[in-house]
Structure 1
Amino acid sequence: MSVHLNHTIVQARDRDETAAFLVDVLGLEPAPVYGPFRVVTLGNDVSLDVVQAGGDVVAQHYAFLVSEEEFDQIWGRIKDRGLPYWADPHHRQAGRINTNDGGRGLYWSDPNGHNLEIITVPYGG
């Protein structure tokens, strides 16, 4: 059997702001409303279903595998917006990217404190 992730729910203090942030920085299509969600669709038919949190948002980690060209575009948008970014998940190496597994990667935060990551090579090469 082949199992694929179809969607996951992303809690947000402001559903629309968070969806717009993800769409903008990642360079994706606008996120339509579906019930209580803003649906951010990724290139592999997986969606991030952004929902208004009923209370505190617990920060999660979301990693995106991107091409080298997409990495440059996303990194450019992060820098253009003056967003802090790090080479490591613990945010100790500010303003740097990593070259783990022969690719490139970086971390930044969304408006809710979710730890976002882009990588050009899956972990383990």
Structure 2
Amino acid sequence: MPATFNHTIIASLDGPVSAQFYTELLEAEPAPSWGPFTNISLTDGVMLQFAAPPFEIQMQHYAFLVGDAHFERAYAWLVDHDIEHWADPHMTRPEETNSEHGGRGVYFKDPAGHLLELITRPYL
């Protein structure tokens, strides 16, 4: 059986707050949670687990591929919630989206400071 992506733990300051942020933005579903983890489920059974680490959180980058209609809803959600966003990963083009790779993209930070990216076309 080839490998498939199953889950990852995302360091967060407050697991439930981060899980709610991702759930709303990604239109994900809550998943059963246990121990220090607050979990959500993405398509194909991929699980994101949020937990406060015993160390200082270092910014990570997570990119999510979404459809055009989902991108429009998510972008409106970012704007409605006054979430700072950029067209580029260097954060030099504020309040814009990009059209690289034949689709649209946007960068923004989650509640723990991780740099997230939404794209409508894969880079490959």
TM class by smaller structure: over 0.9
Residue of structure 1 in register with 2:11 after alignment: 11
Deviation at residue 10 of structure 1 after TM alignment: 0.3
Tell me the C-alpha RMSD between the 2 structures: 1.3
Alpha-carbon separation, structure 2, partners of 1:30 and 1:6: 16
Instruction: Give the secondary structure class of the aligned counterpart of 1:32.
Output: strand
Structure 2: segments with no counterpart, 5+ residues:
none
Which portions of structure 1, spanning 4 or more consecutive aligned residues, are displaced by more than 3 angstroms?
none
Residue 69 (structure 1) aligns with: 69
- Relative to structure 2, which stretch is displaced further, 111-120 or 15-24? 15-24
What is the identity percentage for the equivalent residue pairs of Structure 1 and Structure 2? Answer: 40
TM-score for both structures, normalised by structure 1: 0.92
Contact kept? 1:98, 1:105, Cα under 8 Å: yes
1:74-98 Cα offsets, whole Å, 9 max, x none, are: 1111011010110111111101111
Please, what TM-score do these two structures have when normalized by structure 2?
A: 0.93
Q: CA deviation at 1:55?
A: 2.7
* Unaligned ranges ≥5, structure 1: none
| Corresponding residue pairs, total | 124
Report what 1:2 is aligned to.
2
Q: State the match for 2:103 in structure 1.
A: 103
Q: Report what 1:20 is aligned to.
A: 20
